Amino acid sequence: MRTFVWMIVGAVCAALCCACAVSRAPDAGRPRANEPAYPILLAASDERREQALAVWATLTAEQGITNAPAPELQPVTATLGALPPLSSPLQLPKIGGDEEGANDADTEEAIRESLRRFIAGAAPLLGVDPRYVTLTEIIDDGSGAKSARYLHKPFLYPVRGGFGTLEITFTPDRRVTRLSSTAIPDAERIARALTSGRQLLRPEDAVKSLAGRTVAYTDAAGREQAYTSAGLAGEFAAREIVVYPVRRDGAPPTLAFHLAWEIAVSGGSGATPSLLIYVDAVTGETLGAIVQSPPQSGDVSEK
């Protein structure tokens, strides 16, 4: 009898333990066992840098440029930051034309195709996947040359923080005079990790999280400024979710990729300018802020 009673007690305790385990709320501060750590990190690597320099060597050799010095590479990503002085310039591939003098290489379609082929050939150096590159505009820079500007959009959300851009400046005879990229390599891995089903803050909660916080930003003169959110005149409006990379110094340096709410703050009539504030959409941490740029006009957009 005594054994039977203890069996019943044991069964009841086990049932209670199971019920507690089922009803316990998950810890929002920790990733689940099948969820990658957050934020998602991209570390600088010697291998990435060596691959970029190898592509540069191949690109210049194919165009007959001898003794080309190493280019300036972006920190962490090792994408091309700027062209070095060269004995002869890089050239965009020629599209169209024939031996009898007929030449359609200057048509809009030919220029776009020439740019597409150039990007495809230099993709590892530029850190882009051509499938996710979008031409946003081609503008005249005032000297007879033109600048083609692209966005690299490998993520579900737009990228902020000065990343995800590609710019090529070229002359009418197809000489490339400037070339730079802030694209994100290893983007597919980062994209998968960012979209792993994390629960995100509601926009209103992201706005509320700013109450009483200090917001630091750099003004138009390059000076560091700081205001508390309670002192900001105007209204807060959560615009959209974005990918916001944050540079972390260390050995090696890394980029930490966050999902963030982009929150617009109107400056009102006070001394505070209109700002864009970035609040981590997972943790509620304030990541950064910038002064809103005025709308651009006069650009020729080509999408």
- Same-domain status, 183 and 242: no
pLDDT at 157 over 50: yes
143-149 contacts: CB < 8 A, separation 24 or more?
144/171, 144/172, 145/169, 145/170, 145/171, 145/172, 145/177, 146/170, 147/178, 148/115
Residue 156: inside a domain? yes
pLDDT at 1 over 70: no
Residue 20: inside a domain? no
Bridge-based pairing of strands 236-248 and 165-170 is unpaired
d(CA 300, CA 303): 10
- 3-state helix, strand, coil split of the chain in percent (to 5) is 25, 30, 45
Out of 161, 190, 219, a domain closes at 190
Residue 5: inside a domain? no
Helix and strand element counts for the chain (H, E):
6, 14
Range of the domain at 262: 197-291
Out of 14-28, 83-97, 110-124, 284-298, the most confident range is 110-124
Report residue 274's pLDDT band, with 50, 70 and 90 as the boundaries.
confident
Residue 13: inside a domain? no
Report residue 231's pLDDT band, with 50, 70 and 90 as the boundaries.
low
- Same-domain status, 62 and 183: yes
Give φ, ψ of 21 to 5 degrees: -65, -35
Q: What is the mean pLDDT of residues 171-182?
A: 96
Residue 296: inside a domain? no
- Position 104 scores a pLDDT of 58
- Same-domain status, 205 and 186: no
d(CA 56, CA 63): 11
Whole-number percent of the chain with pLDDT over 70:
78
Report residue 265's pLDDT band, with 50, 70 and 90 as the boundaries.
confident
Residue 250: inside a domain? yes
- Same-domain status, 141 and 275: no
Report residue 25's pLDDT band, with 50, 70 and 90 as the boundaries.
very low
Domain count, the chain: 2
Q: What is the mean pLDDT of residues 56-62?
A: 96
Q: What is the mean pLDDT of residues 2-14?
A: 40
pTM exceeds cut of 0.85: no
Contact predicate 240/230, CB 8 Å: no
- Same-domain status, 121 and 248: no
Out of 53-57, 195-199, 205-209, the most confident range is 53-57
